[in-house]
């Protein structure tokens, strides 16, 4: 997929502490493809652009001195809709995600579980139930 096709819809933009390490982690945990990385002179990242599961994720380090402090990521969940939840789950857990809700077939029929990555971001792996 070319970069311009990734720039549409709603694109999450995360502010984390250690954005360069987060990019490397997301490559290992979620098979992210890196499209852009823009470091500052002090080593922080002012911008990073990843592709995960055919969608964009952008991120940067916190810059409190410019009005962008780090805030815990607790009011949202990054959800990955996938065809092989167990593969995605196992890779994320092996990379270092903590299990918040075990991956299992849920009462609504989907295979679903929740994780937290080392940067405090919540993730859900969701494999929709097969249609009858």
**pLDDT tens for residues 81-116?**
999 999 999 999 999 999 999 999 999 999 999 999
> Residue written as tokens 């402090």?
69
Is CATH 3.30.720.100 the right assignment for the domain spanning 3-66? yes
* Sequence spans of domains, the chain: 3-66, 78-127
37-41, 50-54, 69-73: least confidently modelled range = 69-73
Is CATH 1.10.1200.10 the right assignment for the domain spanning 78-127? no
**Four-residue CA torsion sign, 91, 97, 102, 105:** negative
Rg value, the chain, Cα = 15
Q: Do domains 3-66 and 78-127 have the same CATH topology?
A: yes
> Residue written as tokens 């709603």?
10
CA 121 – CA 58 distance, rounded (Å): 13
0.85 surpassed by pTM:
yes
Q: Across residues 55-80, what is the average pLDDT?
A: 92
């Amino acid at each position: 997929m070319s970069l311009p096709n990734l720039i549409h819809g709603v694109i999450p933009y995360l502010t984390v502490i250690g954005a360069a390490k987060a990019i490397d982690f997301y490559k290992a945990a979620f098979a992210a493809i890196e499209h852009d990385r823009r470091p500052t002179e002090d080593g922080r990242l002012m911008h990073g652009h990843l592709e995960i599961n055919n969608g964009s994720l952008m991120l940067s380090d916190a810059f409190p001195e410019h009005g962008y402090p780090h805030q815990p990521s607790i009011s949202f969940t990054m959800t990955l809709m996938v065809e092989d939840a167990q593969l995605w789950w196992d890779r994320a857990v092996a990379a270092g995600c903590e299990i918040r809700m075990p991956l299992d077939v849920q009462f609504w029929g989907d295979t679903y579980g929740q994780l937290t990555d080392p940067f405090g971001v919540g993730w859900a792996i969701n494999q929709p139930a097969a249609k009858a």
